[in-house]
Structure 1
């Protein structure tokens, strides 16, 4: 039986396109469940790409969600690296892109 991996995306960049998952990731069962956006990225863009995803207002909503297996931290600045530690302390897998 395939296990679907629920993913939280923490988008740290100030502008530009939101991270796009590859088709291989989608085929392997990865599913973006929640997205946190930093500043100027359009919520519409996220909903167009990940219609099933919930847009959240803080990173804790992702980190504390027991259903999320993996957290992707996209385009972090030096100041955002504390997020990686918080994810690991919560017992989740993390990937920095």
Structure 2
């Protein structure tokens, strides 16, 4: 479950890697962190999403850019279930074409 995953990760990643108060290549960091989480918890890489935020402001750190995190060098990691895609969602059969 997601709650169990989160508690395991708090334990495993508490001292795993912290942001330094310098520019961080966030897309690469998020990708590396996702791979580690998937390996540790033996789950599919696409089964969850990762959001990093600055705990002092709760501002989400945009994974499209390099950012400078909070001066204390800590980021909050939020794990959430990946949204269902159209491929996995039940769909209505296509209506026959009208002539």
Q: TM-score normalised to the size of structure 1?
A: 0.21
Q: Which has the larger radius of gyration?
A: 2
Q: TM-score normalised to the size of structure 2?
A: 0.21
